[in-house]
């Protein structure tokens, strides 16, 4: 009875051991599975991370290249801007010069592509000559009867003709001689000899006067 009991108890123990063993083996398998799953997951995550790192490095390089390109472009634009500013400055100066020139052309008129300026004040011949020179011009040199007639005036006006350097040798201010046969002297002119060495125009005729007389004057600029 006792043996039977003991046998019976052994068989129960055996059964229990088997169950425990089976349970432990199952647990082991489960743990193994869990470990495998976790390792796989870890590996996947590591791969993703590595890829991400690589992508990040690539993007960083691309961005750096873009920054370099942009900086080059910026330098180029800055250079262009500098050039444009320089040009602007130059244009401003040209505009100023043109305005000054235009302003200087106030009171000038054009006849057969030559510019003429009729003074509003009166000065002696020397000062009149100087005024024309300051305007980048000279006292008028009459080259034809037509030109003379165009400036027919009812008052004496100084022109660029004088015999100051050699009596009776009338010369224009550009050094050329009064054309022989130029018949535009007034009747009996020139009559002043030494005392009258500068010529003025009156009513499209020439008259000699003392150079210290003060008249209006005509400048011309070719
Ligand atoms: C012309 O006028 C200026 C200034 O008034 C004077 O200095 C000069 O002596 C004058 N010349 C003649 C030739 O009269």
Query: What span, in angstroms and rounded, lies between the C-alpha atoms of 220 and 147?
Result: 11
Query: What span, in angstroms and rounded, lies between the C-alpha atoms of 3 and 117?
Result: 155
Query: What span, in angstroms and rounded, lies between the C-alpha atoms of 162 and 202?
Result: 15
Task: Answer yes or no: is the C-beta of 128 below 6 A from any ligand 1 atom.
Answer: no
Q: What is the pLDDT of residue 173?
A: 95
Going by alpha carbons, the residue nearest to atom 14 of ligand 1 is 212
Task: Answer yes or no: is the C-beta of 212 below 6 A from any ligand 1 atom.
Answer: yes
Average per-residue pLDDT for the chain:
90
Determine if the pTM surpasses 0.75. Answer: no
- Kindly indicate the confidence band of residue 181, based on its pLDDT and cuts at 50, 70 and 90: low
Q: What is the pLDDT of residue 193?
A: 72
Task: Answer yes or no: is the C-beta of 211 below 6 A from any ligand 1 atom.
Answer: yes
Q: What is the pLDDT of residue 129?
A: 98
Q: What is the pLDDT of residue 14?
A: 87
Interval 75-125: pLDDT, tens: 999 999 999 999 999 999 999 998 887 777 778 888 888 999 999 999 999
Task: Answer yes or no: is the C-beta of 124 below 6 A from any ligand 1 atom.
Answer: yes
Interval 8-59: pLDDT, tens: 677 888 888 899 999 999 999 999 999 999 999 999 999 999 998 999 999 9
Ligand 1 centroid–CA 127 distance in Å is 7
- Kindly indicate the confidence band of residue 154, based on its pLDDT and cuts at 50, 70 and 90: confident
Task: Answer yes or no: is the C-beta of 72 below 6 A from any ligand 1 atom.
Answer: no
Determine the residue of 210, 212, 214 to mutate for testing ligand 1's pocket, defined as the one with the most ligand atoms within 8 A of the Cβ atom. Answer: 212
Ligand 1 centroid–CA 159 distance in Å is 16
Q: What is the pLDDT of residue 67?
A: 96
Going by alpha carbons, the residue nearest to atom 6 of ligand 1 is 127
- Kindly indicate the confidence band of residue 6, based on its pLDDT and cuts at 50, 70 and 90: low
């Amino acid at each position: 009875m006792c043996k039977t009991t003991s046998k019976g108890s052994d068989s129960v123990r055996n059964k229990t051991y088997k169950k425990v063993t089976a349970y432990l083996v199952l647990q082991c398998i489960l743990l193994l599975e869990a470990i495998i799953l976790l390792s796989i997951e870890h590996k996947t995550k590591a791969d993703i991370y590595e890829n991400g790192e690589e992508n990040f490095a690539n993007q960083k390089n691309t961005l750096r290249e873009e920054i370099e390109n942009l900086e080059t472009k910026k330098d180029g634009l800055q250079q262009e801007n500098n050039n444009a500013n320089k040009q602007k400055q130059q244009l401003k100066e040209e505009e100023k010069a043109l305005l000054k020139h235009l302003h200087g052309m106030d009171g000038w008129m054009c006849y057969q592509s030559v510019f003429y300026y009729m003074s509003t004040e009166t000065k002696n011949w020397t000062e009149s000559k100087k005024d024309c020179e300051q305007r980048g011009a000279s006292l008028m040199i009459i080259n034809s009867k037509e030109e003379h007639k165009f400036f027919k005036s009812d008052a004496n006006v100084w022109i660029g003709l004088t015999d100051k350097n050699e009596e009776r040798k009338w010369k224009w201010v550009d050094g050329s001689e009064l054309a022989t046969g130029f018949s535009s002297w007034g009747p009996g002119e020139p009559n002043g000899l030494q005392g009258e060495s500068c010529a003025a125009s009156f009513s499209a005729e020439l008259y000699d006067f003392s150079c210290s007389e003060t008249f209006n004057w005509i400048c011309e600029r070719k």
